[in-house]
Amino acid sequence: MVPLLAAVSEATSTVRLGPLVTSPNFRHPLLLAKDLITLDDVSDGRLTIGVGAGGRGFDAEVFGEEPWTNRERHERFVEFTTVLDTLLRENGSTIDGAFYPVVDSRQIPGPVQRPRPPLLVSALGPKSISFAAQIGDGWICVGGLVESNLTTEEVVREQSTRLDSELVNRGRGDDAFQRLFLDGFNDESPLTSFDSFVDWAGRYHALGFTELVIHFPVPDSPFDVNQSLFERIATEGREVIVAWH
């Protein structure tokens, strides 16, 4: 067993860890910050944080409360993310928030990565994309959830153009800003074959995405794909993408 454990340890020593994504639907940023600090510590600084406003349905109603309006959801998301950003940067904090106040908290010794671990923001509409450009180290895109007659790729191109403008307006360079595309929530079908994956990856790489994320196969779910195809994508697909850089 020792050689096997050593091989597993070596293979997973560089993989990034973290939520993709977590939301204010059922988390307070203070408790979340402490969990994330712990994960960054035990992983020796390999945490990447993904945050989003959350959706409707089970995660929005799990506490038996009425779902928030779009405006309420955005306002809470902005404060949630701003408070989380502050808590991860400071060893001690008091924050007068409308939704998430914090009184004399201690985050010691804080995360391994300084000033805090990378924070990627899921964003669809103009307000959330503007906020992502303001506070985030990167953008998480899930494609064409916005009601539109456009294809997913056309919607994402418009979103990317808007993000470019927001970054320029804030004097932020695009080189250090990550762009991650999370598949599974749009009308694309990149996992029907290896060639369809390569085509999909190439199109979104051309739009400036630095990371592409696909779901692990789950039987009898929307993510139920052929295991051997998934494994081929995980190995050969990486080689194809690396060749583009």
* pLDDT, tens digit, 9 for 90 and up, residues 143-177: 865 566 888 999 999 999 999 999 999 998 777 89
Residue 213 lies in a domain: yes
94 lies in a domain? yes
Domain count across the chain? 2
Q: Note whether 145 and 232 are same-domain residues.
A: yes
Query: Residue 29 is part of which domain span?
Result: 16-117
Cα torsion at 244, 17, 102, 24 (round to 10°)? Answer: 70
- Residue 63 — very low, low, confident or very high, per pLDDT cuts 50/70/90? confident
What residue type is assigned to position 32 of the chain? L
Residues 195 and 225 in one domain: yes
What pLDDT does residue 3 have? 42
Contact yes or no for 188/155 (Cβ under 8 A)? no
Q: What is the mean pLDDT of residues 87-105?
A: 96
C-alpha to C-alpha distance for 194 and 233, rounded to whole angstroms: 7
In terms of domains, do 28 and 89 share one? yes
Q: Is the pTM of this model over 0.85?
A: yes
Q: Quick check: is 132 in a domain?
A: no
Residues 109 and 145 in one domain: no
Q: Does residue 11 lie within any of the structural domains?
A: no
Q: Which residue has the higher pLDDT, 77 or 220?
A: 77
**pLDDT tens per residue across span 122-152:** 999 999 999 999 999 999 998 865 566 888 9
Residue 245 pLDDT: 54
- The tokens for 203 are 């199109």
The reply to whether 150 and 79 lie within a common domain is: no
218/84 Cα distance (integer angstroms): 31
Domain boundary, last residue among 54, 84, 117: 117
Look at residue 122 in the predicted model and tell me its pLDDT: 96
Give yes or no: residues 143 and 235 share one domain. yes
User: Is 125 domain-assigned?
Assistant: no
What integer pLDDT is reported at residue 131 of this predicted model? 97
Q: Select from 117, 146, 166 the last residue of a domain.
A: 117
**Percent of residues, the chain, with pLDDT higher than 70:** 89
